[in-house]
Amino acid sequence: MESLTIKCPVTIKAKVTEDLKQHLTADIQENIKKADMELQQIEFQGKRFLAEQAKQDAQGLTAVRQQIDAEKQKRLDFKAQMQERLNETARLEIGSEIVQGTLERTATVSVGDDLHKIMGTEILLEDGKIIAFRS
């Protein structure tokens, strides 16, 4: 066998620009707003559901309350994570690079190829445009 075709990860990095910071900040703030809306909805529906449950089966009230509290806690935890990401985004320095994800590519390797170089491929973006390929 002379060569072999393999799948390799490709790291996608972005160069931090003012536009990227604004875009990331807007996305995070939107997620925080959604979490707030979901919390309000859980609170509203939870009160109604607790009232209905109290009429039907008072013994099941504790389980329902725990379920509602668990859902609220999930949203609060998510909101705290988003707030931390917002703080991290504010601290990003213009010109630095951040990882935005990973893709896969196929590569043909042969005996003698440097596998570390092939596996370490990166694409660098600036404002959504590819500005460099790195190996």
pTM of this prediction exceeds 0.85: no
62 with 106, same domain? no
Structural domain span for residue 87:
18-93
The domain tally of the chain equals 2
The verdict on 80 and 53 lying in the same domain is yes
Cα separations in angstroms, 115 against 2, 6, 133: 15, 11, 17
- Segment 97-120, tens digit of pLDDT: 999 999 999 999 999 888 888 888
Domain identity same for 28 and 73: yes
The verdict on 55 and 109 lying in the same domain is no
Q: What is residue 27's DSSP assignment?
A: H
- Based on the fold, state whether residues 81 and 24 are members of the same structural domain: yes
Instruction: Give the total residue count for the chain.
Output: 135
Short-list 7, 2, 6, CA closest to 102: 7
My answer on whether 81 and 36 are in the same domain is yes
Q: Distance between CA 64 and CA 48 in Å, rounded? A: 11
pLDDT digits (tens, 9 = 90+) for 13-32: 999 999 999 999 999 999 99
